A and B are shown apart, each in its own frame.
Chain A
Amino acid sequence: MGDGRQLNGAAPAVSCVGVGKIWNAGSPREHEALTDIALDIDPGEFVVLLGPSGCGKSTLLYLIAGLEEPTSGTISAHGEPVTGPAPERSLIFQETSLFPWLNVWQNVGFGLSVRGVPTEQRKETARQVLGRVGLSDAFEKRPDELSGGMRQRVAVARALAMQPKVLLMDEPFAALDVQTRVKMQGFLLDVWDVSKASVLFVTHHIDEAIALADRVVVFTARPGRIKAIVPIDLPRPRDLTSPALLALRVELTALLRDEVDRAFAEQESMSVTG
């Protein structure tokens, strides 16, 4: 097992052992994004990856999604090694990734149509999952007619239509305003509760991590490495002003501050030399 915790029999939803990633290996632009990542995610667990920008946490998400291959180490999902992308590990992007030439239900049914599911069945599934994300009215709309938050909910619905076992989310709410973001967090927790999928959620917002996570995985600056894993064993919805969570906030802020400083210093030196 990747991070050495004891699980009761079942294979972890995602298991990373000694995972590293070097971009542009062998070229002058080579840089090490991740090194020696060991992490297990239980079935149904909500894990948040927290770290400064450019620390490689998104890279880890792409590796687990199977869109990129690790330079070293192995990744497996439910006991099977990851060899490529698969619908049961759905990735949700920061920016809108809906196809503008399809309307909402066609977007939601895209993965099913790729599988050859007939139209009526696709519509039915789309209706169901859109209901789950509270967007039944948007069925026939085009993506550019929706707000940013609605578009991200459609993206979640599109992932849910494939009945994923793992939801990989790459700063999905970063482009939204604060109020919408909080709403979206609540809605995501509802969806997670029903779907029983594991969630791996990347963010650089401490509050977001505290509101959502079963465990917060703090990353170091480049190369990305796991600095600390902080479990949060508190019921949701959480009151971020409670003493326990305020203490946690202080702890995470301290953990993160060094890394942000380091990342900042590195960027400055790079912009001087490069």
Chain B
Amino acid sequence: MTATSVKIGGDRKVADAPGFTSSWLRPAIDFIRQHGPKLGWGLLSVGLFAGIWELLWYLGIADHRLLPPPHIFLGDFAGQAKNFNTAKRWEIGVDPNSGPTPLMAVIITMASSTMRVLAGLFIAAITSLCMGVLIRYYGLFGKLVLPTVTLLAPVSPVAWLPVAIFLFGIGNGPAIFMVFIALFFTMTLATITQIDSVNRNYINVGRTMGASKRQIYTRVILPAILPGLLVVLRLNLFGAWMVVLVAEATGVGYGLGQIISMARNTFNPGLVYFTIVIIGLLGFTFDFGLRLLQRRVLFWLPKGEGGLSGG
């Protein structure tokens, strides 16, 4: 570690000289050179936020019962984790102390919510892409369907909650449905906007080269709208996380939303903040993953275009 830090701060020419740096250190140094400043600012930003909170608590301005600072709600990890009991305690004849260990329960809870977000996001992405393309490809279909889609797009996903319960009862179904319905209409409209804004030259080139309508869609429009669609997907990822919590609060067994709901009912602020931290970290990880995916899929875009550099 000391060797690394010396080389970062030290003279570049010396560090780059052959034989000076052992080969296994090189990737690590490159990684820190490239991402170090960003990582540093990120840590500083979070640290500042937590520090101000701690300070307010220390000065007695922030009530420790309502706004317990990070060192309290994160310090008691074992205690908080006990609340993440994924055993079906409510069923008759089940030992309340049975089920997975608290740590496992936290992981199962996170995985459940993540799975719902992923499933909803995946279904919504595929169906909205198909719907958007169909609306633009078949004129009659578009005239019949587009007004309804536009009408339903601004409806808050919360309004769909009863529908989700009517149709799917409780369990994973309604939560996935909620994520799907929250994204489907807006992403369909986004797909249409993307199709409409494809550079006319690309389409005209396809036409003069003798491409059929179908070929224009599959070989010109689809690759042309892909960058925009991935940006839309990334923006909607946060929406998906917001909605899944609402859906989970209504009784899906277990999930992060259920924990928040329980924390509210049992007046446990520490648990609320603890869960918020988990949700934030999950969302960040997701966004990071989607950005990597973008970079891989959209190899032709120079860095900094198509929202690749955001965040």
Q: Which A residues are closer than 8 A to B by beta carbons?
A: 65-67, 84-87, 89-91, 93, 95, 97, 99-101, 110-111, 114-115, 142, 144, 158, 162
Count of chain A to chain B residue pairs whose CB atoms are closer than 8 Å in the complex: 62
Q: Which of A85, A101, A111 contacts B223 (CB 8 A)?
A: A101
A114 near B208 (CB under 8 angstroms)? Answer: no
Q: Is B209's CB within 8 Å of the partner chain A?
A: yes
Q: Which of A67, A101, A162 contacts B204 (CB 8 A)?
A: A67
Q: Which of A65, A101, A142, A144 contacts B208 (CB 8 A)?
A: A65
A99 near B202 (CB under 8 angstroms)? Answer: yes
Q: A115–B212 Cα gap in the complex (Å)?
A: 10
> In the assembled complex, which residues on chain B have CB atoms less than 8 Å from the CB atom of A99?
202, 205, 220, 223-224
> In the assembled complex, which residues on chain A have CB atoms less than 8 Å from the CB atom of B39?
none
A93 near B205 (CB under 8 angstroms)? Answer: yes
A87 near B208 (CB under 8 angstroms)? Answer: yes
Q: Which of A87, A93, A97, A144 contacts B210 (CB 8 A)?
A: A87
Q: A101–B226 Cα gap in the complex (Å)?
A: 10
A85 near B219 (CB under 8 angstroms)? Answer: no
B300 near A97 (CB under 8 angstroms)? Answer: no
> In the assembled complex, which residues on chain A have CB atoms less than 8 Å from the CB atom of B209?
87, 110-111, 114, 158, 162
Q: A95-B201, A114-B215 are in contact. Are A100 and B207 (CB under 8 A)?
A: no
Q: Which of A87, A95, A100, A110 contacts B300 (CB 8 A)?
A: A100
Per the 8 Å Cβ criterion, residues 152-166 of B in contact with A are none
Q: Which of B199, B208, B223, B224 contacts A91 (CB 8 A)?
A: B208
Residue of B nearest to A110 (CB): B209
The 8 residue pairs across chains A and B that have the minimum distance between CB atoms:
A111-B209, A97-B201, A85-B207, A101-B223, A114-B211, A85-B208, A100-B300, A87-B210
B208 near A100 (CB under 8 angstroms)? Answer: no
B285 CB, min distance to chain A CBs, angstroms: 28
Cβ proximity bits B270-311 to A, threshold 8 Å, 1 near / 0 not? 000000000000000000000000000000111000000000
> In the assembled complex, which residues on chain B have CB atoms less than 8 Å from the CB atom of A85?
204, 207-208, 210
Size of the B side of the interface (Cβ < 8 Å), in residues, is: 21
Q: Which B residues are closer than 8 A to A by beta carbons?
A: 199, 201-202, 204-212, 215, 219-220, 223-224, 226, 300-302
Q: Which of B207, B215, B220, B223 has the most CB of A within 10 A?
A: B207
Q: A115–B209 Cα gap in the complex (Å)?
A: 9
- 11 further A-B contacts with Cβ under 8 Å, apart from A99-B202, A114-B211, are A65-B208, A67-B207, A85-B208, A93-B204, A97-B202, A97-B205, A99-B205, A101-B226, A144-B302, A158-B205, A162-B209
Q: A85-B207, A87-B210 are in contact. Are A142 and B201 (CB under 8 A)?
A: no
Residue of A nearest to B222 (CB): A101
Q: A100–B302 Cα gap in the complex (Å)?
A: 10
B204 near A144 (CB under 8 angstroms)? Answer: no
Q: Which of A65, A100, A111, A142 has the most CB of B within 10 A?
A: A100
A156 CB, min distance to chain B CBs, angstroms: 13
A114 CB, min distance to chain B CBs, angstroms: 5
B225 CB, min distance to chain A CBs, angstroms: 11
Q: A99-B202, A101-B223 are in contact. Are A114 and B300 (CB under 8 A)?
A: no
Q: A144–B305 Cα gap in the complex (Å)?
A: 12
Residue of B nearest to A67 (CB): B204
> In the assembled complex, which residues on chain A have CB atoms less than 8 Å from the CB atom of B224?
99, 101
Q: A135–B210 Cα gap in the complex (Å)?
A: 25
Residue of A nearest to B201 (CB): A97
B157 CB, min distance to chain A CBs, angstroms: 34
Q: A86-B210, A101-B223, A114-B210 are in contact. Are A91 and B302 (CB under 8 A)?
A: no
> In the assembled complex, which residues on chain A have CB atoms less than 8 Å from the CB atom of B211?
114
Residue of B nearest to A89 (CB): B208
> In the assembled complex, which residues on chain B have CB atoms less than 8 Å from the CB atom of A142?
300
Residue of B nearest to A168 (CB): B208
A197 CB, min distance to chain B CBs, angstroms: 14
Q: A101–B215 Cα gap in the complex (Å)?
A: 15
> In the assembled complex, which residues on chain B have CB atoms less than 8 Å from the CB atom of A100?
300-301
